[in-house]
Amino acid sequence: MHNDRVPAPNHRPVRVLVALAATAAVALAGCSSDAGGSTSGSTASSSAPASPSPSPSSTVNVPDGVQLTDEGSKLSFGRTATVIFEPTQNRGSVLQLTVQSVQQGTLADFKGFILDDAYKQKADYYYAKVQVRNVGAGDVGGVPVPLWGVNAANTLLPAVNFTTTFPKCPSKPLPARFAAGAVLNTCLVYLSPNKGSLRAVSYRPSQEFNPVTWSGPIAKPTDQPTDKPTDKPSAKPTAKPTPKKR
């Protein structure tokens, strides 16, 4: 499947977001003229995290004193899982993954993006704050954080990858070099179609792997500012004081 990007007009800055949910590709494009500036033709795309295949035949060495989290473990937000991660057959390491919290977003957060079809307009958006720590010996940099969203239909939702900063949930992949001892704190955006809820965040590196999942209370969206003035004028004019006669 190919994700087709929306062409960027040449005369103004454009931000594009491409999200992959289930088997459908979604593109959100928008014009931006923020005072802080934006990158012309900047894009954001979503692709499934690399599909490592940790197995009994894995060649990744687990450091002494480090215990792997059992497959199928169900953790609450804030708990840490220790897992083998192999982006390719030639490299891998042991990661500690922590899903710290999840908050629901709103369409208003994507002001400046064009929500030009019902699929995007009817989606719900979720922001997961996560931490990744490399406690193994290998370098696994340059790939997406290997965490998926899971909605009520038990569909895996890959995180959206941005090429420019999304203020509500600044997202970034593992840096080009992510060797032993490296730590990344980031935020992942998940799009759940048809106003779908987010039930969990999952580490599932292969089809055969019984996923490790995190769940817990999901914070409601923060209050959005309105265009209406805070102080409304009185419904009736205030009576003028009657001048005193001398």
Residue 72 lies inside a defined structural domain of this protein: yes
Q: Which residue reads 């977003």 in tokens? A: 105
pLDDT of residue 101: 98
pLDDT of residue 132: 98
> Which alpha helices (H) appear in the chain, and where do they start and end?
118-121
Residue 14 lies inside a defined structural domain of this protein: no
Residue 8 lies inside a defined structural domain of this protein: no
Backbone phi, psi, residue 151, to 5°: -95, -175
User: Does residue 54 carry a pLDDT above 70?
Assistant: no
| C-beta of residue 17 within 8 angstroms of C-beta of residue 160 | yes
Mean per-residue pLDDT for 167-187? 95
pLDDT, tens digit, 9 for 90 and up, residues 153-172? 999 999 987 667 788 999 98
Q: Domains in the chain: how many in total?
A: 1
User: Does residue 143 carry a pLDDT above 80?
Assistant: yes
Bigger pLDDT: 114 vs 107: 107
β-strand 212-215 against 74-76: which pairing, if any? parallel
User: Does residue 230 carry a pLDDT above 80?
Assistant: no
pLDDT of residue 64: 95
Question: Which of 9-13, 32-36, 124-128 shows the highest mean pLDDT?
Answer: 124-128
User: Does residue 72 carry a pLDDT above 80?
Assistant: yes
Q: What SS3 string covers 99-126? A: EEEEEECCHHHHCCCECCCHHHHCCEEE
* CA atoms in the 13 A half-sphere facing the CB of 245: 0
Residue 95 lies inside a defined structural domain of this protein: yes
What CATH number is attached to the domain comprising 89?
Answer: 2.60.40.1240
User: Does residue 122 carry a pLDDT above 60?
Assistant: yes
Residue 136 lies inside a defined structural domain of this protein: yes
pLDDT of residue 114: 66
Strand partners, 31: 14
Report the percentage of the chain scoring pLDDT > 70.
65
Q: How far apart are CA 25 and CA 17, in angstroms?
A: 11
Domain limits for position 71: 47-106+123-215
User: Does residue 34 carry a pLDDT above 60?
Assistant: no
pLDDT of residue 138: 96
Backbone phi, psi, residue 5, to 5°: -85, 145
User: Does residue 2 carry a pLDDT above 70?
Assistant: no
pLDDT, tens digit, 9 for 90 and up, residues 84-106? 999 988 899 999 999 999 999 99
User: Does residue 41 carry a pLDDT above 90?
Assistant: no
Residue 23 lies inside a defined structural domain of this protein: no
Question: Which H helix or E strand runs over 154?
Answer: none
Mean per-residue pLDDT for 195-214? 94
SS3 assignment, position 243: coil
Q: How far apart are CA 125 and CA 166, in angstroms?
A: 13
Residue 111 lies inside a defined structural domain of this protein: no
Q: How far apart are CA 4 and CA 141, in angstroms?
A: 26
Backbone phi, psi, residue 180, to 5°: -55, 130
pLDDT of residue 117: 74
Residue 101 lies inside a defined structural domain of this protein: yes
